[in-house]
């Protein structure tokens, strides 16, 4: 059975380009030959002495070396062209590639090119100008799909603890809301987030505030846990207070999250707990 051959106009893969045999070895050999040639010419002209016949002889003998260098130059240009072709093709496919990778892991993806939320918490941004990816603010080259996967996995595994309870989180959110509330019943969500971080500390932390005792809660974790609470349709506290969202006056003062109830991404600027038991 004859082996199927790849069409000559197909885009080569990175592995196929890397397999171009011993280019680096030939570059090393040419560099050594050039170094020896330079040393010989220096020897023929040292101390201001001009040994023109010897220098011409050395340069004439180096013609084959220069031909090798030109051949290596053409091969390097060809390899660079193929790398650019591969990089361009991979970038055009990166949106689908990342979504396929997330699907394999069971990570939910919300949003549209070039901005996504993965697993309700991690912001994923594609920069078409620089051909790079931002995973929760971490910059990664656009051709490093494995790096994107590792970065996402490192973030997602920290988003929601196994023992997470939506009802408990809503009660914590309501208490933090009361801590942050001033004159208006509508409280900036980032103020509530700060109050949640404060309330998440163990009592011992306030007796000796060392780094190792601090219980961290990133914005991504807060965002994911809030979306998970909404997904569970847990909107009322035990006291009957209902969580409500309001748009921001300025997106810089807001939290970008996915609301599973409304099935859309959006900026939340302020929240309110309203109602209550009569």
Q: 106-129 pLDDT, tens per residue?
A: 999 999 889 999 999 999 999 988
On the question of pLDDT at 267 being above 60, the answer is: yes
pTM: 0.67
> In the predicted model, is pLDDT for residue 146 greater than 60?
yes
Q: What is the pLDDT of residues 165-224, one digit of tens each?
A: 999 999 999 999 999 999 899 999 999 999 999 999 998 888 888 888 899 999 999 999
For 48, 126, 250, 254, the CA distances from 105, given in Å and listed in that order, are 71, 20, 35, 29
Q: Is the pLDDT of residue 2 over 90?
A: no
Separation between Cα atoms, residue 58 and residue 133, nearest integer Å: 52
Going by the DSSP 8-state scheme, the letter that residue 186 receives in this structure is: S
User: How far apart, in whole angstroms, are the C-alpha atoms of residue 44 and residue 40?
Assistant: 6
Q: Could you report the per-residue pLDDT of 38-90, keeping only the tens digit for each?
A: 888 787 777 666 677 777 787 778 788 888 888 878 777 777 666 666 555 66
Three-state secondary structure readout of 220-276: HHHHHHHHHHHHCCCCECCCCEEEEEECCCCHHHCEEEEECCCCEEEEECEEEEEEC
pLDDT value, residue 14 = 47
């Amino acid at each position: 059975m004859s082996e199927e051959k790849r069409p000559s106009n197909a885009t080569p893969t990175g592995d196929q380009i890397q397999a171009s045999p011993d280019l680096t070895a030939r570059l090393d050999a040419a560099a050594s030959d050039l170094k020896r040639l330079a040393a010989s010419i220096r020897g023929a002209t040292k101390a201001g002495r001009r040994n023109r016949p010897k220098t011409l002889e050395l340069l004439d003998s180096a013609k084959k070396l220069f031909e090798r260098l030109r051949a290596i130059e053409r091969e390097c240009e060809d390899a660079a062209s193929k790398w650019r072709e591969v990089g361009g093709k991979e970038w055009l496919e990166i949106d689908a590639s990342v979504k396929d990778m997330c699907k394999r892991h069971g990570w939910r993806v919300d949003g549209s090119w070039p901005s996504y939320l993965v697993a309700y918490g991690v912001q994923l941004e594609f920069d078409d100008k620089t051909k790079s990816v931002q995973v929760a603010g971490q910059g990664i080259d656009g051709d490093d799909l494995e790096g994107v996967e590792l970065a996402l996995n490192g973030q997602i595994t920290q988003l929601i603890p196994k023992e997470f309870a939506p009802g408990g989180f809503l009660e914590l959110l309501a208490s933090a809301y009361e801590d942050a509330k001033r004159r208006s019943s509508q409280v900036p969500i980032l103020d509530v987030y700060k109050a949640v971080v404060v309330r998440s500390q163990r009592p011992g932390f306030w007796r000796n505030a060392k780094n190792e005792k601090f219980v961290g809660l990133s914005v991504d974790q807060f965002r994911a846990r809030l979306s998970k609470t909404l997904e569970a349709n847990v909107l009322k506290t035990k006291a009957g207070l209902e969580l409500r969202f309001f748009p921001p006056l300025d997106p810089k003062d807001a939290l970008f999250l996915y609301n599973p109830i409304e099935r859309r991404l959006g900026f939340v600027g302020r929240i309110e707990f309203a109602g209550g038991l009569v």
